[in-house]
Amino acid sequence: MASLSKGWDIQTRVIGALMLRELTTRFGRENIGFLWIMAEPLLFAVLVGLLWRVMKGPLEYGVDIVAFVVSGYIPLVLFRSVIMRAVNSFTANGSLMYHRQIKVLDLILVRFIIELIGHMMAYLAIATALRAFGMFPWPHDIGFLMLGWGYFSLFTLSVALIVAPLSEMSDILEKFIPVTTYLMVPFSGTFFLVGVLSPEAANVVLYSPPVHAMEMMRFGVFGPAIDPHYDFIYPLEFSLPCVAIGLFLCRVVRRRLVVE
């Protein structure tokens, strides 16, 4: 138990140090510095939400259209950012592997945690601002909202764990990732509700784990008015095997990785 506690303490300090290094490298210490991790997704969500309001009016599926778009778009941007950062993350930080306390898994976790914190801060900030203007409701069920975020984050991490080592094995993947991440748009539930789709289309999109997470988040925010459709078990049945596969691939890549 003492050795486990010591190991946990070491890895916690390693993760903390790597996070500070990553933040300083990406954002520097000038202007608003680390707050850019929140500002970037916030600006994306606000612009898309306003665009939808201009194009479609104030309501969508019976709720404020800006709140509807924002509540789905920020998790989508989280997925795209994490996957893009996962590509070649080992090569970019290969010199750090000289330190035996640093593992390849740490490099993925650091970037994932930074993106997750930034996007959740953006979600909270924009929800608070819209709430002040009467455009975002008080959450119907905060537990469901956080559960949906948890499922979505687990799925995102599971995909990143696979993409990161595969990008080290093949340069072709690096070229395709920016395009393929856009395929998440129709399979994420960002801009639609399962309840308004035809039964055939609903059955198809429910094969996508993020849709279940998005429906949970939307239910947590808007309540039963949106007629949510989700399964508690299916996202885990998909994501946990992906995590296991990703961890195995990380071990394979670590043996091939040349530390300079």
Element housing 73 (H / E): helix 65-86
| 120-143: average pLDDT | 90
Which residue range(s) make up the domain with 86?
Answer: 2-256
Task: Say which residue, 145 or 28, is predicted with more confidence.
Answer: 145
Structure confidence at residue 7 (pLDDT): 65
What is the pTM (predicted TM-score) of this model? 0.90
Q: Using an 8 Å Cβ cutoff, are 71 and 221 in contact? A: yes
Residue 148: strand, helix, or coil: helix
Q: In the chain, how long is the greatest CA-to-CA distance?
A: 60
pLDDT exceeds 60 at position 12: yes
Structure confidence at residue 74 (pLDDT): 92
Task: Give every CB contact of residue 135 below 8 A, 6+ residues apart in sequence.
Answer: 64, 66, 67
| 112-118: average pLDDT | 91
Distance CA 101, CA 12 (A): 11
Write the CA distances from 175 to 26, 84, 91, 233, 256, integer angstroms.
22, 11, 16, 33, 22
Mean pLDDT estimate for the chain: 84
pLDDT exceeds 90 at position 207: yes
Distance CA 86, CA 72 (A): 22
Quote the distance between the C-alpha of residue 213 and its chain's center: 11
| Cα angle: 12, vertex 256, 103; to 5 degrees | 5
Distance CA 97, CA 82 (A): 21
Question: Based on the structure, what is the number of domains in the chain?
Answer: 1
